[in-house]
Amino acid sequence: MAKKKGEKYECKECGLVVVVDSPCGCAPCDLVCCGAPLKEKEK
């Protein structure tokens, strides 16, 4: 999911925003909040 430093992901349910500081580069995974995957935040 997170590919680059600075990418932002947002929970459409509660408004939580996650900013990538250091992407891991391991197997693909989802960031989950309120039971649903976070969506990349529009710039």
pLDDT tens digits, one per residue of 14-29: 999 999 998 877 777 7
- pTM here? 0.77
* pLDDT band at residue 36 using 50, 70 and 90 as cut-offs: very high
Q: What's the whole-number average pLDDT of the chain?
A: 87
Distances (CA, A) of 18 to 36, 39: 14, 10
- Rg over alpha carbons for the chain, rounded to the nearest Å, is 10
Task: Indicate the domain borders of the chain.
Answer: 8-40
43 has a pLDDT exceeding 80:
no
Q: What pLDDT, on the 0 to 100 scale, is given for residue 26?
A: 77
Work out the angle at residue 8's Cα, subtended by the Cα atoms of residues 5 and 33, and round it to the nearest 5 degrees.
120
At 6, is the secondary structure helix, strand, or coil?
coil
